[in-house]
Amino acid sequence: MSGKNTETGKNGKSVKPGNTAKNNSVKKAGDTAGSGAAGNPAGNGEKKKSPNRGTMKKVLCYIRRYWFFVVLSILCAAVTVALTLYVPILTGDAIDYIIDKGFVAFDPVLSIVKKIVVVVLFTAVSQWLMNVSNNRIAYHVIHDIRREAFHKIEILPLKYIDGHSYGEVVSRVIADVDQFSDGLLMGFTQLFTGVITILGTLLFMISLNGKITLVVVLVTPVSLFVAAFIAKKTYSMFKLQSETRGEQTALIDEMIGNQKVVQAFGQEDEVLERFDEINGRLEKCSLKAIFFSSTTNPATRFVNSLVYTGVGLTGAISAISGGITVGQLSCFLSYANQYTKPFNEISGVVTELQNALACAARIFELIEEEPQIPEAENAVVLKDVDGTVALEGVSFSYTPDQKLIQDFNLAVRAGQRVAIVGPTGCGKTTVINLLMRFYDVNSGSIKVSGTDIREATRASLRTGFGMVLQETWLKTGTIRENLTMGKPDATDEEIITAAKAAHAHSFIKRLPQGYDTVIGEDGGSLSQGQKQLLCIARVMLCLPPMLILDEATSSIDTRTEIKIQNAFARMMEGRTSFIVAHRLSTIQTADIILVMKDGNIIEQGSHETLLARGGFYANLYNSQFAQ
């Protein structure tokens, strides 16, 4: 499908990080509408009250798909805790068999030790199963979220891609999901066992001595209040940290993609200053988030030490008065330690979850972005496209307050060659974007073979177009894979014929593995001209009924350009063609030349007719060939 050969940005050029002006300006947190919390503060009343409540509900919806592993994890956690809490009872019984100095009942003690060994083995197996289940849940969930986020990127309207820096989007899908997965895995690993341990130890302690248990219950709420207070404070800090990290990723991505330009204009110091400024803000917000979150553990440990002290004193007094045995006191102290330990872990989990939920909120903002206008339920599949195109009363602008194309009308017969010329920003490439339905018209209609393109599937519409743009785009893979993107079932003979027609065969054969040579991102070490020849060959292999050539030979030397123009001439025979060009020498043979200015057609006709008229086109032509 030739229409898919190139990713197209707002300016109709193939997109890679940093290619468009919009993406070159890295936005500070909150500058971009709809990105991050700053771009969409609070969102609604519910989010103002609890910014992570809605996010947690969304996370639970993903977790619910793996309910089996959740149930298995809870059961294994319960078994692990029960067996772990049973060990102190056995230990206490063993201590009570140490009757007096020099007198120990070894047979009962040996029997108890055997039981302890068996219990510990079962505990280990149960804990292993719980960890396996938790890993399954965490990594299945992040797999689903990351897949859904990437799928959303593919169906987002181009205005979203044009309006957000690529690095920031990449940061959400990669870094934020990784941070979220760490928090989720930690949550499942420690939260279930922590809660069940607390409940289990309380039951065991109550069964041993209610008064001592009361001391424990009265002191522990302090630990919960401390953890909850710190968690509320750290959420906003982790949110800011995540947004700043995305901003830093955007700058790095932008600079790597345009390093030659940066060095050519001596901007290294200025770029370094921008990086240092962002890096400094990231350092400050990260330190604040980590500092406040790190106070949770020592604060809860202090409270837990009070619990342990209270149990020790109360239990010792009770043991002296004969209320409990020494073995039971030992058991109680062990339970007090196990009871307080989960509070430390849970407080750490809660803090980590604040970071995870802050990252998850950014991911869900991307997933919940408004997708491109969906296709109609009864959308037709364009077949046997004859090449007739009609634009009727088309009006379009990228932003409501900046008019671009207004009441644009054009009728193209099958097989006609239509050239579009005009000054930069007049709307030439915008017409191409509208034809390919990368953007939808604000009003009016565009019809292909008599069918409004909004009533046809996007895939069938774009299959009907072959597009070669000024900016090239090649994926990582072999030369063959890049050439067959639009026709995967092409034979070797067809591939070679298309490459020869595009004058790419000779340099391909000189590559180490010929057509099976693997090229890196965006063509790797190939020259700009070679990459453009491959893009041309890619379209020539498909030979769709309609062609779009947007400065398709701009990066090719003059001698090769003449050969390519001849190849294009043969390829365009019988095919409707739209040619956008600044070099007017390339469009002299067009059937119709549309001269655009400020979004309107101000002149149209053949090359000779427009020259004879002595208008805007004649001035453009003479400015290039006056000498």
Over the stretch 8-18, which tens digit does the pLDDT of each residue have?
Answer: 333 333 333 33
522 located within any domain: no
CA dist 358 and 36 (Å) reads 10
Q: In the chain, count H helices and then E strands.
A: 24, 14
pLDDT digits (tens, 9 = 90+) for 526-535: 887 788 888 8
Tokens, residue 72: 């298995």
Do strands 546-550 and 465-469 pair parallel, antiparallel, or not at all (unpaired)?
parallel
Q: What percent of the chain has pLDDT over 70?
A: 84
Average pLDDT on 382-399 reads 86
Which residues are bridge partners to 421 per DSSP? 595
Of 606 and 424, the one with more pLDDT: 606
Tell me how crowded residue 457 is: count the other CB atoms within 10 A of its CB: 16
Calculate mean pLDDT across residues 388-396: 89
Domain assignment of residue 232, given as a range = 51-367
pLDDT value of position 221: 67
Residue 31 placed within a domain: no
Confidence tier at 122 by pLDDT (50, 70, 90)? very high
339 Cβ contact partners less than 8 Å away, ≥ 6 residues apart:
197, 198, 201, 202, 205, 216, 220, 307
CA atoms within 13 A on the CB side of 119: 19
3-state DSSP assignment of residue 507 = helix
Whether 362 contacts 296, CB under 8 Å: no
**Cα 594-596-602 angle, rounded to 5 deg:** 80
Does any domain span residue 508?
Answer: no
Which residues sit opposite 465 in a β-bridge? 546
Tokens representing residue 294 in the block: 């790190």
DSSP 3-state assignment of 286?
Answer: helix
Mean pLDDT calculated for residue range 415-431: 84
Least confident of 120-129, 181-190, 358-367, 503-512: 181-190
Residue 554 tokens, joined: 């701009």
* The two three-digit tokens of residue 418, written as one number: 């239509």
The 3-state secondary structure of 366-422, one letter per residue: HHCCCCCCCCCCCCECCCCCCCCEEEEEEEECCECCECCEEEEEEEECCCCEEEEEC
42 vs 421: which has the higher pLDDT: 421
How far apart, in Å, are the Cα atoms of 352 and each of 191, 293, 345, 382, 388?
Answer: 12, 8, 10, 52, 59
Dmax over CA atoms of the chain, in Å, equals 123
Report the alpha-carbon distance of residue 433 to residue 469 in Å, rounded.
12
Rounded CA gap, 491 and 507, in Å? 20
State how far the Cα of 341 lies from the Cα of 210, in Å rounded to an integer: 21
pLDDT digits (tens, 9 = 90+) for 16-49: 333 333 343 333 333 333 333 333 433 444 444 4
Mean pLDDT taken over the chain: 77
Residue 35, domain member (yes or no): no
Whether the CB-CB separation of 428 and 420 falls below 8 Å is answered with yes
For residue 149, being part of any structural domain is answered with yes
Q: Which two tokens stand for residue 340?
A: 């307080």
Range in 76-90, 177-191, 501-515, 589-603 the model is least confident about: 177-191
Please report the pLDDT score of residue 224 as a whole number: 67
DSSP string, 94-152: HHHTEEETTEE-HHHHHHHHHHHHHHHHHHHHHHHHHHHHHHHHHHHHHHHHHHHHHHH
- What residues contact residue 533 under an 8 Å CB cut-off, 6+ apart? 502, 503, 504, 507, 556, 560, 564
Residue 151 domain-assigned (yes or no):
yes
pLDDT value, residue 50: 53
Q: Tell me how crowded residue 269 is: count the other CB atoms within 10 A of its CB.
A: 8
What tokens were used for 183?
Answer: 């928090």
**102 Rama sector, left if φ>0, alpha if ψ -120 to 50, beta otherwise:** left
Give me the residue label for tokens 């055997």: 114
SS3 percent helix, strand, coil of the chain, rounded to 5, is: 65, 10, 25
Domain count, the chain: 1
Q: Determine phi and psi for 337, rounding to 5 degrees.
A: -65, -45
- pLDDT single digits (tens) 139-173: 888 889 888 888 888 888 777 877 777 777 887 88
**Per-residue pLDDT at 627 exceeds 60:** no
Q: Tens of pLDDT along 359-379?
A: 888 888 888 888 777 777 788
User: Over the stretch 243-302, which tens digit does the pLDDT of each residue have?
Assistant: 888 788 888 877 776 776 777 777 788 888 888 888 888 888 888 887 877 777 677 777
In a domain, 436, yes or no: no
Instruction: State the pLDDT confidence band at 523, using cuts at 50, 70 and 90.
Output: low
Q: Whole-angstrom Cα distance, residue 168 to residue 177? A: 13
Q: At what angle do helices 492-501 and 558-572 cross, to 10 degrees?
A: 120
Lowest mean pLDDT across 50-54, 292-296, 383-387: 50-54
Residue 6 pLDDT more than 70?
A: no
In a domain, 165, yes or no: yes
Q: Is 303 exposed, middle or buried (0-12, 13-18, 19+ CB in 10 A)?
A: buried
DSSP bridge partners of 579: 419, 549
- Domain CATH code at residue 84: 1.20.1560.10
